Amino acid sequence: MNPILFALNRPYTVMVAIAGVVLGSILAVSRMAIDIFPNLNLPVLYVIQAYGGMDPGQMEGLLTNYYEYHFLYISGIHHVESRNIQGAALMKLYFHPGTNMAQAMAETIAYVNRSRSFMPPGTVPPDVVRFDAGSVPVGYLVLSSDRRSIGEIQDLALFRVRPIFASLPGVSAPPPFGGNQRTLVVRVDPERLRSYNLSPDDVVAALKAGNSISPSGNARIKDQMPIVPVNFMVRALSDLGSIPLRLGENIYFRDIAVIEDSTDIPSGHTLVNGRPALFMLVTKRADASTLSVVNEVKANLPRMKAVLPEDIDLRFEFDQSPYVTQAIQGVVQEGLLGAVLTGLMVLLFLRDWRSVIVVVLNIPFALLAALLALWLTGQTINLMTLGGLALAVGILVDMSTVEVENIHVRMVHAPTVARAARQSNQETAVPRLLAVLCVLAVFLPSFFMEGAAREMFVPLSLAVGFAMIAAYFLSSTLVPVLAVWWFRPHHPTAAHPPGRFSFDRFRALYAQLVHRLMPWRRSLIGAYLLVCGLVIVLLGSQLGMEIFPKVEAREFQLRLRAPDGTRIEITRELAAEVTQIIREETAEESGEEQVAISVAYCGLHPTSYTINNMYMWMRGPEEAVLRIALKNTSGLELEAFQERLRHTLPRRLGHWFGQRLHKEGLSAEQIAQRLRGLRFSFEPADVVNQIMSFGSPTPVEIVVSGPEFRDNRTYAAKVFAELENISSLRDLQYGQSLDYPAVAVQIDREKAGLSGATAADVARSLVAATSSSRFVEPLFWADPKTGIGYYTQVEIPPYRMNSSAEVGLVPLQVRSPASSSPHAEEGKGGGEGLLVRDVARIREGTMPGEYDRYNMRRLVSITANIAGEDLGRVVRRVREALRKAGEPPRGVEVDIRGQVVPLEQMFRGLAFGLALAMAAILLLLTAYFQSVRLALIATAAIPAAITGVVVALFLPHTTLNLQSFMGAIMAIGVATANAILLLAFAERSRHDGMPAPTAAVEGAQGRLRPILMTSLAMLAGMVPMALALGEGGEQTAPLGRAVIGGLGAATLATLFVLPAVFALVQSRAGVASLSLDPDNPESRFFDGNKPPVSREP
C-alpha cells in the first residue's frame, strides 16, 4: 500500500486513525506505571537463613555449605554468593540472563527443602525472595513515643500497622527496624543459681515442665460436647513465678529470677534525630511504581494512625517521590522547550507559520503513538523512556521538515499543492525510510548488552524507535493532507525576493565555497581525517567512564564501623555523636543546622527478623548506618561535604571515643588500638543513586578468594597496602570482620565426664547464660487478650556477663556416675557446685566475625569509594596496584567487582552492538544505492560526529556513560540520515550527466536547507537538556551535550567534506545500471526483445 496515495484518497481516514491513536495514548498514560527507572529485572534470588546463636563458622559449615552445594544443581545458575555472621546467613543466587525465574524460584525452594534434611535440629526454613536493585526503599514510616518503650511500639507496629501496610499494592513490608520481639523473660540471678545448686539448664527444664503446650480434649455431657481446656500454659505473668524448680522442694521461679513482660535481648537500636524510635522501610517491589507506592502509603496513614494509641507518633519520612516527579518534570519541560525552539527554527527557515504548525503538530502525535506502543510492549514512564522521547524530538522534526521543505520546492513548478505534495512524497519516501532504518540500526547495541545496562538501554531505544516509525508514517500521511488543506500556492522567490540576508543568497555563497574547495578535495579529506584522528586519540583517551552521570542529591548514607565487637550500647552512643557532629558541620557556613532529619540503625538485626539483612546488611554490633537528609535550602555540595566529613569525623569522633573508652577502664595502648579500628564509608542513599549502584554499596570491591582462608587474608593484606597508594580511593577497608573478639571455652571432655557433665550440658548452660534459651528450647505463651503467641525464655541479664571470669562461673547441670547416660534423669544429685571453669579452659582471643563465600570458596574483600576521578580511571589504577602486589598464591583468585562488572559489561555490549549497527547501515546503504562506494561515502561524516562528541564531553568534564553514549549514537544516526539525503540528490544529478564535482555541489546546494533545518532544529531542541535546566537535569545533560557536539561537527562535515569525498570517489564511477534484467532499458543486458504477454482465450 502506498501511504501517500492512501492519505490523499482517504484524508478523513487518516484523521480518524490519528484520533484513535490519541485516545489510545490517553488510556495508555493513565495505565502506565510512573517511575524513575525501568524495571531492571535482574535474575537474582535471595535466601536468608537464621539460626540464633550460631557463630559465623557454624553458620557457614553447618547450614550455608549444604545450601550452596545443592544450589549449584539449579538450572541457569551463574554463581552463588553468601555472607555468614553470628545467627544469620545471606545467600544471593545469580542466574544467567534469560533464565526463567519462576522455574528458578521453584527449583530453589525444592533444593532448600532437600538441603535442610542435612542440617542440625531446630533449623527453621529460610526466607526465599526475589529481590533486585530496583527494589529500593522509597520512604520510612517512623514511629516514636515519649511514654512507651521501644518494645511496646515494636509489638504494635508489627501486629497493627504492618498488616495494613503490607496489603498495599506494590509494597514490600519488612518487619520494623529498631525493636525486638515481645517475650516473657525469666531473668535469673547467677549467684542464687549457685546457692541453690542449679544451672540455667535446670531452670529451662523446669520452665518446660511447668509451662507446656498440650491440645484440649472434649467431654460428652448429656447433649453437649464441651471443650476441656487445661492451664498447661500459664495465662498470667505472675503464674510463672509459682512454677517449682524441683519437685518436692519449696523452691520456685520467684526465688531465683525476675520475670518480666519484655523483649528478646536487644541486638540493635534505632535513633531518629538522636532519640530512640523505630522505623519501617517503605520498600517498593521491583515492578511497582515509586509514585503509586508513596501515594498509597500517604493515603493510608490515617488508617494506620487509627489503630495505634494516641501517644504514638507515626509519620512518613525520606519521601523519594520528589526525585521521581522532579526528574520526570525536568525531562518533560526540557522536551517542551526543545519543541518550541524547534518550531522557531523551522519558522526561521521557511517563513511560513502554516508550515511551522504542520511540523510541530507531528511532534505530539508521534510521541503519543510512541507512548501507546510502549504501553503495549509492557514499558513504563520513566527517565529512560522519557529521555528517549525527548531525544527523538529532533529526528521527528527531521521527517516532517524534509517533507514540508520539499513540498515548498515542488510548489514552484507544480500546478497545485496536491500535485506538489504527491511529487514531493515520491521523491523523499525512500530516502526518509532509509534514514529511519539507519537511525534505528544505531540503537541495536542496546539489545546486545547484558544485565541491568540492557534493561536501562532497551526502553530508551524502544521509545526512540516507536517515535521515529510513527513520525515516518505521519510525514507520509498527515503532512501531505495538512499541506493540501492549509498551504497556499506561491513562488518562494517572489514572496521573498533575494536580499542581503535571504536564504537564496546564503545558498549561493555556500555553493561557491564548496565549488572552490573541490580542487583541494584530497588535501581537505586528508586534513579532516588527521584532525578527527588526533582529537579522538588525544582527547578521547582523557574521557572518564561511568555507568550513569553523577546525580547531586540532598541525602547521603554513612556506615560507621567501630572496632570489631564493640557493644551496641557504645555503638549507639557513637552514632548519636556522629549525628551531632554532622549537624554542627552543616551549620559551619550558614550558622544554622541544615539537617532535615537523621535516622541511624545500630547493631545487628534480631534473629527473628533476619530478612531485614536483605534491605540493610549489618555484620555486627559495631556497625551503625546513618541516613541524613539535608534541607532543600541547604546549598551544600554533597560530594565536597562528604570529603570534609572524611577529615573531620576521625578527629572529632576519635577524641570523644577515646574519652569514652577511658571511662571503661582501658589503657592508653588499648585505646590507641581501638581508635585504629574506627572506620567510615559513604553509601548511596537517594533512590537514583541506590538503583544505579546496582546493589553494590561501594563502586570498587576487590575480592580475594581461594581454598585456604589464611592465604586469602595474607594476599589481601598485600593488595590493601598497594591500594592505599591510590589517591582517588576513599573509605578503604576490609569488607569482613577479621578479628572479632571471642571468649573461647575449651571443654575437657574427660574431666567433664568424671564430674558428671557432658559437652551438651556445658553448651546448654552457656547458651542460656550468654544468650537465652530461646533457640535451644523454644517455649511459648499466648496472650489471651490479643490471641498473639510469643516466646518465653530464660536468660542471665547481659550486664552480669561482663568478663571471661563470669563465663567460667556459670553453674552446670550434672549427673551421677550411675546416670551418666545422656538419657538419664537430670538434676538429681552428684557433683554439687560444678561450674564451667571446672571442666573447661576459658581464653580470650579473636576469630573471624564474618565468613563470605563465592561459589563455595572463602573470600576476603576490600571495598572503597572514589573521589576526584571517574570509575574507568580508578579501575585502571586498581589493576596496576594488583600487578604490583605480585602473583597470588596457588589457587587464589583476585577479582574486581562492585560497579566495575556492569560497567565493563555495558561498554563491551556497546562496542559489539555498535560494530554490528555500522555493518547493518552499510548493508542498508549498499542495498539502496546499489553501490558499496556510495555506502562508504555516506559514513564519511561519522568520524566528525565522534570527534564532536569527544570535544563536547571533554570541555565540560563530562564522562562517557549510558546517557552520553546514547547521545553519540543518535548523533551518528542523524549524521548518516543527512548524508543519505545529500548523496541521493548528488547521485541523481550525476546520472543526469553532470560531472561528479558538479553533481556534488548541486546535491549539497539542493539539500542545504533541509540539512540545516534538521540539524539546527535538533540542536535547538537539545540545548535545554544539555544545560541541565530542569530539576535533576544532570542525569540527562550528557545525552544533550553528546548530541550537540556530535551533530554539530557531523553537519559541518556533511556540508563541506562529504561533497569532496563524493567528488573524489565517484569521479571515475560509471553511470550504467547494475540491473541484470534484459527488459530494463537501463540495463547493459537489455536486448529489446521483450516477448509478448500470452493471453488465455
d(CA 852, CA 700): 17
Amino acid, res. 73: Y
> What values do phi and psi take at 219, rounded to 5?
-105, 160
Q: Are residues 110 and 147 in the same domain?
A: no
Asked if residue 871 belongs to a domain, the reply is: no
Cell 531473668 locates to 187
**Which ranges of 930-961 does DSSP label H, i.e. alpha helix?**
932-938, 942-954
Contact 600, 575 (CB under 8 A): yes
Instruction: Please report whether residue 1083 resides in a domain.
Output: no
Q: Give yes or no: residues 425 and 388 share one domain.
A: yes
| Phi, psi of 824, deg, nearest 5 | -70, 165
Cα–Cα distance, 990 to 978 (Å, whole number): 19
| Residue 10 phi, psi (nearest 5) | -130, 65
Final residue of a structural domain among 685, 704, 721: 685
C-alpha cell at 852: 563470605
Residue 311 lies in a domain: yes
419 and 480 Cβ atoms separated by less than 8 Å: no
CATH code, domain with 238: 3.30.2090.10
DSSP string, 75-129: TTEEEEEEEEETTEEEEEEEE-TT--HHHHHHHHHHHHHHHHTTSPTTPPPPEEE
Q: What is the pTM of this model?
A: 0.84
User: Do both 469 and 568 map to the same domain?
Assistant: no
- What gap in Å lies between CA 970 and CA 439, rounded to an integer? 7
User: Shortest CA distance to 773 belongs to which of 200, 196, 50, 206?
Assistant: 200
Say how far apart CA 469 and CA 446 lie, in whole Å: 18
Pairing label, strands 182-188, 788-795 = parallel
Cβ atoms of residues 920 and 440 within 8 Å: no
Backbone angles phi, psi at 858, to 5 degrees: -65, 150
DSSP three-state, residue 744: strand
Q: Are residues 274 and 358 in the same domain?
A: no
Q: Position 280: which residue type? A: M
Choosing from 847, 880, 915, the residue where a domain stops is 847
Q: Left, alpha or beta for 957 (phi > 0: left; psi -120 to 50: alpha)? A: left
Range(s) of the domain holding residue 841 = 182-263+742-847
HEC secondary structure over 150-180:
HHHHHHHHHHHHHHHHHCCCCEECCCCECCC
In this structure, which amino acid lies at residue 207?
A: L
The interaxial angle of helices 521-538 and 1058-1066, nearest 10 deg, is 130
Q: Do 526 and 391 fall within a single domain?
A: yes
The size of the chain, in residues, is: 1097
How many domains would you assign to the chain?
5
Among 684, 682, 676, 692, residue whose Cα is nearest residue 730 = 682
- Are 914 and 1025 contained in the same domain? yes
Query: C-alpha dihedral over 132, 135, 141, 144, to 10 degrees?
Result: 10
Distance from C-alpha of 943 to C-alpha of 940, rounded to nearest angstrom? 7
Phi, psi dihedral angles at 51 (to 5 degrees): -155, 100
Residue pointed to by grid coordinates 555472607: 83
Helix (H) or strand (E) holding 270: strand 268-272
Q: Are residues 656 and 794 in the same domain?
A: no
pLDDT at 571: 95
pLDDT < 50 positions in the chain = 492-500, 818-831, 1097
Q: Judge if 570 and 626 occupy the same domain.
A: yes
The answer to whether residues 172 and 187 belong to one domain is: no
- CATH number reported for the structural domain that contains residue 645 in this entry: 3.30.70.1430
Give dist(CA 573, CA 271) in Å, integer: 10
The answer to whether residues 462 and 966 touch, using CB atoms and an 8 Å cutoff, is no
247 inside domain: yes
Question: Last residue of a domain, which of 278, 296, 319?
Answer: 319
The DSSP annotation for 1003-1051 comes to HHHHTHHHHHHHHHHHHHHHHHHHTT-STTGGGTHHHHHHHHHHHHHHH
Query: What CATH number corresponds to the domain at position 993?
Result: 1.20.1640.10
Q: Is residue 119 part of a domain?
A: yes
Evaluate whether residue 891 is within a structural domain: no
Same domain? 927 vs 1030: yes
Specify if 854 maps to a domain.
no
Q: Answer yes or no: do 7 and 77 share one domain.
A: no
Q: What is the pLDDT of residues 855-874, one digit of tens each?
A: 999 999 999 999 888 888 99
How far is Cα 403 from Cα 376, in angstroms, rounded to an integer?
29
User: Contact 54/87 with Cβ under 8 angstroms?
Assistant: yes
Q: Per the domain annotation, does 74 fall within a domain?
A: yes
- Give the number of other CB atoms < 10 A from CB of residue 244: 15
What's the CA gap between 1034 and 550, in Å, rounded? 7
- Cell representation of residue 898: 562492585
- List the CATH number of the domain containing 284: 3.30.70.1320
202 and 301 belong to one structural domain:
no
